Structure 1
Amino acid sequence: MMSNDPQPQIRPTASGAGTTVFTGARLIVGDGTTVIDDAIVTVRDGIIVGVSRRSGAPDEPDQADDATVIPCAGKTIMPALVNPHGHIGYMRGTVCDPRFFSRDNVIDHLRRFVYHGISTFQSLGTDANHVELGVRNDQRSGVLEDRDLATLFSAGSGIVAAPTAGRSSGAPFFAVEAVHQATDPDDAADFVRRLAERRVDAVKFWIDDRGGQAAKLSPQSSRAIVEEAHRNGLVAAAHIYSVEDAETALDAGADILAHMPRNPEPGPALIDRLLDRDTAVFTSMSVQGPTNTDWLDDPIVAETLPPSAIDDLRERMTARSLEPLFDTSETFRRLQRNFATLHEAGVRLVFSPDTGVFAQLPGLAEHRELEALVNAGLPPLAAIELATKRSSNLLGLTDRGLIEPGRRADLLVLDADPTQDITHTRRIAAVILAGRVVDRDRLRRQLQDHAHGAR
C-alpha cells in the first residue's frame, strides 16, 4: 500500500468522511518544537484521531482495509495557517480600493486563503454595510454551502475619532465610510452596544493619529469602547502606532495591540504592563516593508493573478507609492529591533499579516509575514507556532492550530521543509480542510476568473 514515488501526487477527495491516513511525511505539530519524521496521521470524519511515527508493523493504521491511504513520502505536513488580523473585500487583483468592496470579493478572498493554506481568518473592523457579517452568518448557518472558504470571523465596523478642525478622521484610507466616527465616549459606547447586538467576534478601534494628520481617539472614548466591549463579552483590539498610543490602549484595558509599538522602542515599564496583563501584541511586520519585490517572482503568485496585475504591483512598490505614511526601510529596522525586545521579554506576540492592504495580497501576505518573522530572528518552528497554535488560541479556537488527536484535520502539505527555508510554506502540494483534500485546480480556475473580471 506504500508508494515508491518520493513526491507522490495528492488527489482531491469528495469529502472528509470515513477514515483517511496520511503516511510517510515529516510532521510539524505546530507547538513550536515537535517534529515527527516518517509520520502517520489518522483522520476519521474530519477529526485527527491518531498521530505517530511509522514503525512498519503490519497492523499499523495504513494497512487498515477501510481506510483511504494517502502516501506523503518526501513531503512535510503542518497545520493550516490561522490569521487573526486583516481586512478583506477591498483588494481586486493587486489594487486595494473601496470601490471594490462587495460580498463577491469577500468570498473570493476567503477562497484565496484556502488555496494558499489558510483555514481561518479574522477581519478587523472594516466591514461595510454588514457584508462580512452576512457572509459569516451564512457560513455558520449552512446557507453558504461552498466548502472551499476559510472560516470567517469579523469585528464588523470599527471605531475611529470623528474629524476635528484641520484634521481628518482616523479611519484607514481604504475604509473611511465603513468605520464609525465617534464624537464622544457616549457615542463610542453606544456603537459598541450596536456591534454586540450583531454578535461581532471582536471590537476594533483606532488610536493612531496617522502621523499627526488625523484626529486621535481620546483616552476617555478608548476606555468607553473597551468597557462596553467587556460588558458584552467581547475582546477589544486597538490599532496603535507609538508607545504613547500603546499606553492609552492599556490604560483603556485593551486585550490586543493590533501592531507593535513602532516609535520609540518599548521600554521596561510598557513591557511590564504587557506581561502583567498578558496582552496580545500583533506582529504586523511584512505590511510595513522593507520594499522588496522579489517575492512577486515566486511561482505561486502567478498561479492566481494575471501578469498585468503583478507587473502593476511591482511598479507601484518600486516607486514606493504603496506606503504613504511610512519611512519604510528605517521603520522596518525599528520593527525588527522592537520585535526582538518584546520576544526576548516574553510578551505574547501573535501572528498578524494585516492582510488586504498595500501589498498584502490575500493568501500571500500570510506567507510573507512568516518570512518577515524568521528574518527578524525567530526560528521557523517558532514562527509557525505563532501562525497556528497561538493565533488559534487568540480566537478562542481549540479545534485547530495543532496536529494532535481531537483537532480538526486542517492541514497544509508541502513539497519542501519550511524548517530549512521558511519560504517553503509556499510550495504547496495540498490543502486539507476537515479531512477533505481540497481541489486546488478547480479553486485556481475560480480565482483566475475573478482576477480577470469574470463573474
Structure 2
Amino acid sequence: MTVTYFNDVCLLVDDSLSDPVSVIVKDGVIARIRRRGPAPNNAEVVHGEGKTLIPGLIDAHVHITNRRDLDALARYGVTTGIDMASWPPARTAALRAVRGTASIFSAGVPFIGSAGPHARFGMPSHAVVSEPDQAVTEVRRRLIDGSDFIKIVTEPRGHGGPAPDVVGSIVTAAHEARRVVVAHASHIESFKMSVAAGADIITHVPTRSPVAHGLARRTPAAIPTLTVSEALTGTMALPGSSYEVARDSVAALHRAGTPIAAGTDAVDAPNVPLTIPLGTSLHHELELLVDAGLTPVEALNAATSVPADLFGLDDRGSVEPGLRADLLLVDGDPTTDITSTRRIAGVWIDGVRYPTTDGISRDEPTASRG
C-alpha cells in the first residue's frame, strides 16, 4: 500500500483556510483528514508548514492531442483537462487510458457548420450537421465514439455555423442521451442563440458587444476563456474587439450568479494561428477572473469544484475523504493572493508525486501567434 502523509497543511474551507491539519492518502485516494498526529508507518511524509493543499486544477477548455500535452498540464498542477475537440476516436481513447499524468475528458468530434472558421481545421466530414433530423444519429455516433459530452460551435447568422433549429435539435438529442452540451459562442448573437437553444455551458465571451445582465441571468454556466480574449484583442488586435468588453461580460455573469469555470483554450498545434501554452495559462486565467470581479476563492472554485460539478466528475474537485488524490501543494495563501497558485511546491496525481517546475514566473508568456 502506498501512503502519503501531508503534515501541517492548510485546506480551503468555505471562504478561507483551515488551521493546519494532516491529510492521509492511501493508494491514490484521500483516506483521512485529521488534526496533527504521528505519520502512519512507511508513509512518505510531506511537510506543509506555510503551504496550502488544494485540489488538482481543472482546465475546462483545452485541446489535447498527445501524451506530451497531458504532461504539460500536469507539470503545472493541472491534473484534469476538459478537451473541446479530439479525433480520431482511437487516439482519444488511448489518451484516456494513459496513467501517471493529467486526465482527459473529451467532446470528441464537435458539431460545426459547413462554412464557419472551424470547417478549416480538418475535422471529419460528420462534424458538419446541416439538418435538424441529423441530430439524433450524429449524437449517437459521438456516444459510440466515446464522447463524454457534446460540443456545438455556434456562429452569428451568415457566418457559416449551424442554423438555430439545428442547434436546438442537437441540444435536445444530447439531453435525451443525458449528455452535457457545451456551446462555443464568441459573438453576442451566437451567445444568445446558444442560451436560447438550452445549451448547458457557454464557452468564450464576446469581445465586441458585452453580455448584458438579462442575458447573464439566463446563462446556465460559462467558461469565459479570458486568456483568449486578451490575446485576440492584444497580440492579434482584431478590429472592433476590446478586452474590456470580455471582462465586462464576465463581471455581468458573476453578478448574475452564473457558475463560472476556468478554461484557457490552450493548444499546441502548428495549424492554429493563436497558441496558448498548456498548463501555465490556467494560472493566468485565474488572475484574469479575479481582475474581472471574482474573489480568489471563487477563482479557485472555478478551476476545481465548479468544473467538476458541471461535467459530473464526482471523484475530484475537492480535498475530501474518498476522492481521488489529485492534489496541488502551493506556498502561501491562494484565498487572499491568487498568484500563490504559481508557487508550486508539489503535484500529486492519483496519489503519486509528479515531477514539476519550481514555480511559474509572472513574466512567462501566456499566448503567442503560430
Fold-level similarity (TM above 0.5) = yes
Distance in structure 2 (CA, Å) of the matches to 1:192 and 1:325: 34
2:92 equivalent to 1:108: no
Aligned position for 2:114: 162
Corresponding residue to 2:163 among 214, 218, 233: 218
Going from structure 1 to structure 2, the CA distance change for 1:413 and 1:242 (only over 3 Å counts) comes to same
| Aligned AA (2:257) | G
1:341 deviates by: 1.4
In structure 1, the residue matched to 2:304 is 388
Q: Residue in 2 aligned with 1:271?
A: 216
Query: Following the alignment from structure 1 to structure 2, what is the Cα–Cα distance between the partners of residues 388 and 73?
Result: 23
Partner residue of 1:129?
88
Alpha-carbon distance in 2 for matches of 1:398, 1:134: 20
Deviations along 1:370-416, one digit per CA (max 9) or x if unpaired, are: 11111222221210011001111112112111112121121111234
Shift of 1:206: 1.0
Letter in 2 for 1:37: D
1:252/1:420 Cα in 2 relative to 1: closer, same or farther (>3 Å)?
A: closer
Amino acid at match of 1:419: T
**CA distance, structure 1, for counterparts of residue 275 and residue 95 of structure 2:** 25
Cα deviations across residues 200-221 of structure 1 (Å, max 9, x unaligned)?
A: 1111111124xx8831320111
Partner deviation per Cα, 1:21-64 (whole Å, 9 max, x = no partner):
101233335x5x1412322112222221222443xxxxx2x344
Work out the CA distance in 2 between the residues paired with 1:170 and 1:338: 23
2:6 counterpart SS class: strand
Q: What CA distance in whole angstroms lies between the structure 1 residues aligned with 2:76 and 2:285?
A: 13
Does residue 247 of the first structure (1) align with residue 187 of the second (2)?
no
Is contact 2:112-2:119 (8 Å) kept?
no
The match for 2:366 is: none
Distance 2:338 2:213 in 1: 31
Percent of pairs with identical residues? 31
CA distance in 2, matches of 1:375, 1:271: 18
TM-score (norm 1): 0.71
SS of equivalent residue, structure 1 residue 50: strand
> 1:290: Cα distance to partner?
5.5
Partner of 1:117: 77
Between the two proteins, the alignment pairs up a number of residues equal to: 351
Partner of 2:318: 402
Deviations 1:337-368 (A, max 9, x none): 12111111111222221221624111112111
Measure how far apart 1:77 and its partner are: 1.7
SS of 2:18's equivalent in the other structure is: strand
In structure 2, the partner of 1:149 is 101
The Cα shift of 1:227 comes to: 1.5
Distance 1:326 1:83, change over 3 A: farther
**Which of 259, 263, 279 matches 1:348?**
259
* Structure ID, larger Rg: 1
Which structure 2 residues correspond to residues 51-450 of structure 1 after superposition, within 5 A? Answer: 51-54=33-36, 60=37, 62-89=38-65, 106-125=66-85, 127-137=86-96, 139=97, 144=98, 147-163=99-115, 169-171=116-118, 175-178=121-124, 180-209=127-156, 214-274=159-219, 279-289=220-230, 320=235, 323=236, 325=238, 331-356=242-267, 358-440=274-356
- Residues 161-188 of structure 1: CA distance to partner in whole angstroms, max 9, x if unpaired? 113xxxxx34176x24357122322334
Report deviation, 1:191: 2.2
SS at match of 2:222: strand
Q: TM-score, normalised by structure 2?
A: 0.86
For 2:338 and 2:104, locate their aligned partners in 1 and report how far apart those are by CA, in whole Å: 26
Distance 2:173 2:180 in 1: 10
Return the offset for 1:425. 1.4
Post-superposition offset of 1:115: 0.9
For the residues of structure 2 that align with 1:269 and 1:419, how far apart are their CA atoms?
Answer: 30
* 2:17 is equivalent to residue 35 of structure 1: yes
Shift of 1:131: 4.8
The match for 1:166 is: none
Query: For residues 178 and 113 of structure 1, do their structure 2 counterparts lie closer, same or farther at Cα, with a shift above 3 Å needed?
Result: farther
Q: 2:8 aligns with which of 10, 24, 44?
A: 24
* 8 A contact 2:327–2:347 mirrored in 1: yes
1:260-294 Cα shifts (integer Å, max 9, x gaps) = 344433334423423xxxx11112111111589xx
Q: For the Cα contact (< 8 Å) 1:286–1:369, is it kept in 2?
A: yes
Tell me which stretches of 4 or more aligned residues in structure 1 moved more than 4 Å.
324-327
Q: Which runs of 5+ in 2 are unaligned?
A: 358-370
- In 2: Cα distance, 1:285 partner to 1:215 partner: 24
Q: Which amino acid aligns with 2:2?
A: G
Q: Aligned partners of 1:415 and 1:48: how far apart in 2?
A: 21
State the distance in 1 between where 2:232 and 2:204 align: 19
Q: Which structure 1 segments of 5+ residues have no match?
A: 1-16, 55-59, 90-105, 164-168, 293-316, 442-455
Partner AA of 2:137 in structure 1: D
Deviation at 1:128, TM superposition (A): 3.0
Do the aligned residues in 2 keep the contact of 1:82 with 1:121 (CA within 8 Å)?
A: yes
Structure 1 residue 418 displacement after superposition: 2.7
| CA distance in 2 between partners of 1:22 and 1:72 (Å) | 7
Tell me the distance in 2 between the aligned counterparts of 1:232 and 1:395: 15
Q: Sort the Cα spacing of 1:238 and 1:369 in 2 relative to 1 into closer, same or farther, 3 A.
A: same
* Amino acid paired to 1:347: T
Partners of 2:277 and 2:239 in 1: how far apart? 19
Q: Distance in 1 between matches of 2:40 and 2:176?
A: 52
Match of 1:22, SS state, is: strand
Give the partner amino acid of 2:123.
E
